[in-house]
Amino acid sequence: MQLLTIAIDPSLDDSFAPEIAWTWRYLLTGAGYPWRTGVCNEPCDIAYTPDPRRAPHARIVIQAMPHHWERRTFLRLAGAGSADGFMYPMYAGEHGHDRLITHEAGRLIIHRDIVFDAFWLLTGQEEAHFPKNRHGHVDLAGTPYLEDQTLRKGLASGIGVRFEHLIGETGIPPGEPRWPHGKRAAAALSHDVDYPEVVRWLEPLRVVMRQGMRGLPAALDVLTGKRHHWQFDSWLALERTFDSPSVFYFVARQGSLREYALGTPDPFYDIRAPHFRRLFCTLIDAGCEIGLHSSYHAYASIEQFAREKRLLEAVAGVPVVGNRHHYWHLDPVNPEATLAIHEQLGFAYDASLTHDRYIGWRRGSSWPYFPLLQAERRELRTLQLPTGWMDSQLFLQHAANPGSPDEVLRALADQTAAQGGLLLVNVHDYVFDEVLFPGWSAAVRHLWEYLDTRGDFWMATPAAIAAHWRDRYQRLLAASVGFADTRTVAVSIVS
Ligand SMILES: [Zn+2]
């Protein structure tokens, strides 16, 4: 492994050390390099300093902007409602970096604090300033995020890839590949299991609400039981075709219509029922992963959250390492508080940090990452696998997500490949019915055909992807000196 020497200007190190170290770990491990820390005025591969003159012997100098880091603190203290945090001014164009790079006396100088940029995006600094609905879903109407479809660009991992290329331009050999088997990117199919069983008198109304009067024949089929939502075999057949087993996230708390009406929209099934027990065996035999679809209010009670995980593990008979929240319902005020619970419950990964309505990467990263817990200024041990697309975004939220499904998804796959990232998609189990949900499962089939044709995507379950990413991360950390996060080091020793 190629070891890079990174020198951080002490003036920065003193003030924002945990945040800067965390961001450097994201960039360097993402690019596949272990590191050791050096001193600015001595020879080093990369120097991070407010004044490039302080690093005359560095191959690459990244010009730090301390006032941005100071502003971060201000924003955190200012809290929601301050207009000051709206749209950090770099993101008008993704090619802006090129004009900000100069070559001086054998050094490559980046006159922009791309470390802060990555930090800003990955920690969602702007989210506190956007309105939210009653589920805590961020409303991006009228922001450049929608106007430019910024979320589809993956700006933070884009910075990582650009950084990686610049390292290559200086003649440093490539870092450790992000993905195994010589693949360029990764893809995973996931299913939130919400309504595998229809309420026969209610579902026909939902069909008509979705499709209008032309949905009447299908609604009648649902009413009489000719059509149903139990589509697991259809998914397994499709996934066998591509040798691409998926994850099914199950809710382990049974809701009710009454609760639903009163504002707790948990699904109605009971995973303890015999047909669910048989289903778990079938899915596990097919190589699928069983994950938790934590209930609507699980974020508010670690005891309830833990009960759900334990019950699912007991009934399915396998460890549950992955989670996604029903309705993406994290703590609406402080999503990181929920991510911290994932860590306490020992999840290997979570896949919930996604916008409900908008396609793309909520925190700008198609690369998996260990989020920063800002309140404690440390890295979380539960990996975040960013979900890039949920089915309904293309079929029920068309105004916010323009474009034909096949074209949008191919572009998202191409962007993932360009960044060597992960394309994790979420398709509900029950939508595999061309009459009830025209075009929905076809979009998945076409996307997977496209990925298969490309041939450069590693297709695996999210659990396998998370295990790979964690192993690679810990290998790189173990070979590195400096930028330690004490908690991370402790984990790498015990696991
Ligand atoms: Zn759900």
**CATH number for the domain including 365?**
3.20.20.370
Same domain, 401 and 308: yes
Measured in Å, residue 429 CA sits from the centre of ligand 1 at 10
Res 177: pLDDT:
98
Measured in Å, residue 295 CA sits from the centre of ligand 1 at 8
pLDDT in single tens digits along all 495 residues of the chain: 889 999 999 988 677 889 999 999 999 999 999 999 999 999 999 999 999 999 999 999 999 999 888 876 444 433 333 334 334 444 434 444 456 899 998 899 999 999 999 999 999 988 888 899 999 999 999 887 888 889 999 999 999 999 999 999 999 999 999 999 999 999 999 999 999 998 878 888 888 888 898 888 888 888 888 888 899 999 999 999 999 999 999 999 999 999 999 999 999 999 999 999 999 999 999 999 999 999 999 999 999 999 999 999 999 999 999 999 999 999 999 999 999 999 999 999 999 999 999 999 999 999 999 999 999 999 999 999 999 999 999 999 988 999 999 999 999 999 999 999 999 999 999 999 998 999 999 999 999 999 999 999 999 999 999 999 999 999 999 999 988 765 444 333 333
Residue 152 inside a domain? The answer is yes
Same domain, 192 and 134: no
Say if residues 485 and 21 touch (Cβ distance below 8 Å). yes
CA distance 423 to 200: 35
Measured in Å, residue 68 CA sits from the centre of ligand 1 at 38
Range of the domain at 19: 4-178
Measured in Å, residue 457 CA sits from the centre of ligand 1 at 27
Measured in Å, residue 392 CA sits from the centre of ligand 1 at 12
Dihedral, CA of residue 60, residue 66, residue 71 and residue 76, to nearest 10: 80
Measured in Å, residue 224 CA sits from the centre of ligand 1 at 25
CA distance 26 to 228: 45
Same domain, 240 and 96: no
Residue 50 CB neighbour total at 10 angstroms: 14
Measured in Å, residue 197 CA sits from the centre of ligand 1 at 14
Same domain, 243 and 368: yes
Measured in Å, residue 376 CA sits from the centre of ligand 1 at 30
The count of domains in the chain is 2
Indicate the burial class of 237 (C-beta count within 10 angstroms; 0-12, 13-18, 19 or more). exposed
Same domain, 171 and 289: no
**Token code pair at residue 88:** 């950090």
Measured in Å, residue 350 CA sits from the centre of ligand 1 at 14
Residue 467 inside a domain? The answer is yes
CA distance 105 to 27: 25
Same domain, 252 and 173: no
Measured in Å, residue 251 CA sits from the centre of ligand 1 at 8
Dihedral, CA of residue 137, residue 142, residue 145 and residue 146, to nearest 10: 90
Domain stop point among 178, 210, 242? 178
Measured in Å, residue 153 CA sits from the centre of ligand 1 at 26
Residue 461 inside a domain? The answer is yes
Measured in Å, residue 397 CA sits from the centre of ligand 1 at 16
CA distance 339 to 44: 36
Residue 65 inside a domain? The answer is yes
Measured in Å, residue 123 CA sits from the centre of ligand 1 at 24
Same domain, 272 and 410: yes
Residue 495 inside a domain? The answer is no
Same domain, 154 and 260: no
Res 394: pLDDT:
95
Same domain, 52 and 77: yes
What interhelical angle do 274-285 and 302-316 show, nearest 10? Answer: 70
Same domain, 169 and 248: no
Residue 222 inside a domain? The answer is no
Same domain, 133 and 189: no
Measured in Å, residue 394 CA sits from the centre of ligand 1 at 17
HSE-CB at 156 with a 13 A cutoff on CA atoms is: 30
Measured in Å, residue 72 CA sits from the centre of ligand 1 at 33
Which residues make Cβ contacts (< 8 Å) with residue 107, sequence separation at least 6?
52, 55, 56, 58, 59, 60, 61
CA distance 387 to 248: 14
Residue 218 inside a domain? The answer is no
Res 75: pLDDT:
46
Walk across the sheet containing 107-110 and list its strands. Answer: 35-38, 4-8, 44-49, 58-63, 107-110, 101-104
Measured in Å, residue 193 CA sits from the centre of ligand 1 at 6
Q: What is the pTM of this model?
A: 0.92
Residue 106 inside a domain? The answer is yes
Same domain, 152 and 130: yes
